[in-house]
Structure 1
């Protein structure tokens, strides 16, 4: 609402929206760091000061106000833990893998239900009623599956939930949650994921290394949340802040990383971005620096530039551009001091002929007083692409800053070559330290 009233850009409006969401999450759960990480990992899709600082300020202020209002926290106090060991590490990874498999299954169930409802020969208005019916039947089977579920989370963290009850809760909650979301019924994500993940952890606790009661349930909660939402850092800090226990930070990040790896291998998108993708939008979840912002013009420009003299006539330029041996569409025009006067291409020749210019007029005379857009060897391709777009040309001459002489030529193809080179850096694999193997292969090839 505030963003609609203020004269801000679209990016600033998005930042204010996310800042409000982070403040709301902090107020409800008392997790400012997790709220900030959620904004970075899931909502903003960028890591810049212009977005990070407003979100951080909103979350911190919300936490201060929450404390001033004497809202209790942490919501689910937990003091348990586990000694760090290699056996423990194996258990952390195993619970993370199991959570990743559960995350993939839950995502498939939700969208399988959504697809199933769309195939029903009834109006969509009836879908929530059918979803509510399934939820009611699930509540009759396991009443603990209904409601917000905070009591379930507390019980699992206290170690008071037995394996059989946890298994029943997991199955019923997964079914009614998937059907509810698939039918379009309003439902949450955070608390249900914590409940289902915690139930799975309670079931598997008897098969994992010994730890304090509730420890494996906590790890499974965070890993299921992180795997399903593809936000491992958010899930890690969320669990730490919910419980007020920083001693489980390493086990949590290990489990969340393992779950994240499994879901990345099994699913193209998370449960949240899948719905956006189904609406025809493409989202990139990886942070990458634009190679145009790191590459200078002199790294990609052509140094052996074929130019034409300013003394060439209009007739000679037309003959030169239409000659069979001419392979480029445009050429820089230079004077005797290698100063660039402009560019010639077929549209320019036609424009001059239609304007009634005599065929013996030199290019220097035709280009006199014209404004030339130039590139410089030390500028970055990020600015060069803007110049090409604003000038509506495919090539630009590159001149030295000190004397303005022509030193190169650059175009769109050179810019695209940078992206190809970046892809090759990610695709091509080479062993740099082969201990003689690589050297022997090279000598054998020679």
Structure 2
């Protein structure tokens, strides 16, 4: 096929797409079309989740077929490093874009790019995370598949030229469908979208998100079997006598969450200093990860098999199987020590995987640490007879909810996700207690969850506060008027009059020969001399210019810009780059008009 044929094919595709868009707009209302798109977002997200897990399983089967799982094989130490290296090559040479921190990338897209995600995000995270996890990287598949689902929603919306508000909703539909598809948990998908992505809950948004989540769940059941992700049988019902233990577990979960977030940030800082040295990052991450897996094999891969051991153990012998393939094997008396060490090193292994060049999320690691933390809490409680006996397996489940709620600052997500994936609906009261206590503990030290803290530092985090959300969604670039008529400081009044006649505004910036901003001419202040021709050669711009009430910086947040207009009561303010060069002006009327329109869009059903 030659270039002409490709161009003709592209034009035909554009024509078909345009006709489809026109037909939909003619025969369907916007709400009806959004509901249809939400169904397809759910379908495609379920397919993406199935493909991801299928690839992971095939890679694992290919690499480990014939291995003796009862003994440590040295290849288990090599595989994760190979996976990180292959992933880094894929990202660097094929994707050529940053796809790490999947959920954070979604938040960036919502706040700063009008909910537009790149087309490659529909598949790149699936392949990258499949390679990383399939080779044993100590990360989860959830964040990459959430990014994939959101990208599917965003690109479908862009394809059919939906407005910004609908695009944001479709991004939320994709995230909800991804969570629902991975965990077979549609309610958790809905709650996650509301809590973490901050999509407002209205009747206009509730139904599309539910449709996406339920669709993804149903198709996931079709593609796979009907089992929950974790096998769990409740050990007795909840008791009032155990409420103190639930409260303390919640606090303990909050402390684990704080350790998780702080350690993750510290490790990212170390690897970030090696950003321009990919092979140094690979060496550091690979050596660190392999060493940890050598001592603690439970850190290999997502770790869901270890969680199932803790959830389903009934006797000491059952729980001690978690020591298999490690130097602790056969030493049941060291189970507590092993649990503590794995709990401390899991977040380091996750950071080493991603920092070394791998691709994966923190969703599964938070579940993993919660399970180990819950088991440790219950075992120590029972060993020392602190209070009434508490079932270890129940507290494994509760620990998962507590740490997830703390790490993500999403207590409702922790409650509903763990209830759905374990089938532990009878534990709703304990789940609520531990998640609330965990959240109240972590909020003292960290005001934002692990996904939103990077945006919060930059003032770009969307919240449910309408005013703050509107300012976050606004971009300075969209309100700058870059068309201005400038004058030199040595220009005489006579020549200034000609420049005034060409200007569209009442302000003319004064720039020197190097285009540095010197001041501005306010036409309203020249009325007493502008018609006196005898003064045209006696005054120069340098004598007539004044300084603006304040200058805006190109990196200023919209909240700061709004405050500057309120403080100065100015009609126009200049925007400067980092070298004191004028970029343009912001008009107060235009700024408030854009703000009011965004608030109206956010408030509309």
Match of 2:406 in 1: 227
TM-score scaled by length of structure 1: 0.62
1:239 and 1:18 map into 2 onto residues whose CA distance is 21
Match of 2:380 in 1: 207
Deviation at 1:129, TM superposition (A): 3.7
- Structure 2: 5+ residue stretches without partners: 1-154, 320-334, 382-387, 469-522, 532-568, 572-588, 593-605
Match of 2:460 in 1: 282
Indicate whether 1:143 and 2:302 are aligned: no
1:184 and 1:89 map into 2 onto residues whose CA distance is 43
Do the aligned residues in 2 keep the contact of 1:74 with 1:242 (CA within 8 Å)?
yes
Indicate whether 1:272 and 2:424 are aligned: no
Deviation at 1:82, TM superposition (A): 5.0
Do the aligned residues in 2 keep the contact of 1:110 with 1:182 (CA within 8 Å)?
no
Match of 1:34 in 2: 188
CA offset digits 1:323-372 (Å, max 9, x no partner): xxxxxxxxxxxxxxxxxxxxxxxx99999xx99xxxxxxxxxxxxxxxxx
Match of 1:251 in 2: 430
Indicate whether 1:163 and 2:342 are aligned: no
Do the aligned residues in 2 keep the contact of 1:227 with 1:260 (CA within 8 Å)?
yes
2:441 and 2:448 map into 1 onto residues whose CA distance is 12
Match of 2:229 in 1: 75
Deviation at 1:173, TM superposition (A): 1.6
CA offset digits 1:125-152 (Å, max 9, x no partner): 5324421221111111111111121111
Match of 2:35 in 1: none
Match of 1:198 in 2: 371
1:145 and 1:51 map into 2 onto residues whose CA distance is 39
Match of 1:299 in 2: none
Indicate whether 1:187 and 2:360 are aligned: yes
Do the aligned residues in 1 keep the contact of 2:235 with 2:394 (CA within 8 Å)?
yes
TM-score scaled by length of structure 2: 0.46
Match of 1:318 in 2: none
Do the aligned residues in 2 keep the contact of 1:218 with 1:239 (CA within 8 Å)?
yes
Deviation at 1:236, TM superposition (A): 0.7
Deviation at 1:290, TM superposition (A): 5.8
What root-mean-square deviation, in Å, do the aligned CA atoms of Structure 1 and Structure 2 show? 3.5
Cα distance change, pair 190–102 in 1 and its aligned pair in 2 (3 A): same
Cα distance change, pair 348–178 in 1 and its aligned pair in 2 (3 A): closer
Deviation at 1:205, TM superposition (A): 0.8
Cα distance change, pair 170–47 in 1 and its aligned pair in 2 (3 A): same
1:290 and 1:272 map into 2 onto residues whose CA distance is 21
Match of 2:349 in 1: 176
Between Structure 1 and Structure 2, how many residues are aligned?
Answer: 309
Deviation at 1:229, TM superposition (A): 0.6
Cα distance change, pair 268–70 in 1 and its aligned pair in 2 (3 A): closer
Deviation at 1:276, TM superposition (A): 2.9
CA offset digits 1:247-290 (Å, max 9, x no partner): 01110111011111111111132111123345x343254x3466
Cα distance change, pair 349–45 in 1 and its aligned pair in 2 (3 A): same
Mapping 1:20-419, distance limit 5 Å:
20-120=174-274, 123-124=277-278, 126-159=280-313, 160-161=318-319, 162-183=335-356, 185-208=358-381, 209-277=388-456, 280-285=458-463, 287-288=464-465
2:216 and 2:365 map into 1 onto residues whose CA distance is 24
Helix, strand or coil at the partner of 1:74: coil
Cα distance change, pair 213–202 in 1 and its aligned pair in 2 (3 A): closer
Structure label with greater radius of gyration: 1
Cα distance change, pair 18–125 in 1 and its aligned pair in 2 (3 A): farther
CA offset digits 1:94-147 (Å, max 9, x no partner): 111111011111111111112223345962553244212211111111111111
- Structure 1: 5+ residue stretches without partners: 292-346, 356-391, 395-411, 416-446
2:185 and 2:366 map into 1 onto residues whose CA distance is 17
2:525 and 2:264 map into 1 onto residues whose CA distance is 62
2:274 and 2:175 map into 1 onto residues whose CA distance is 35
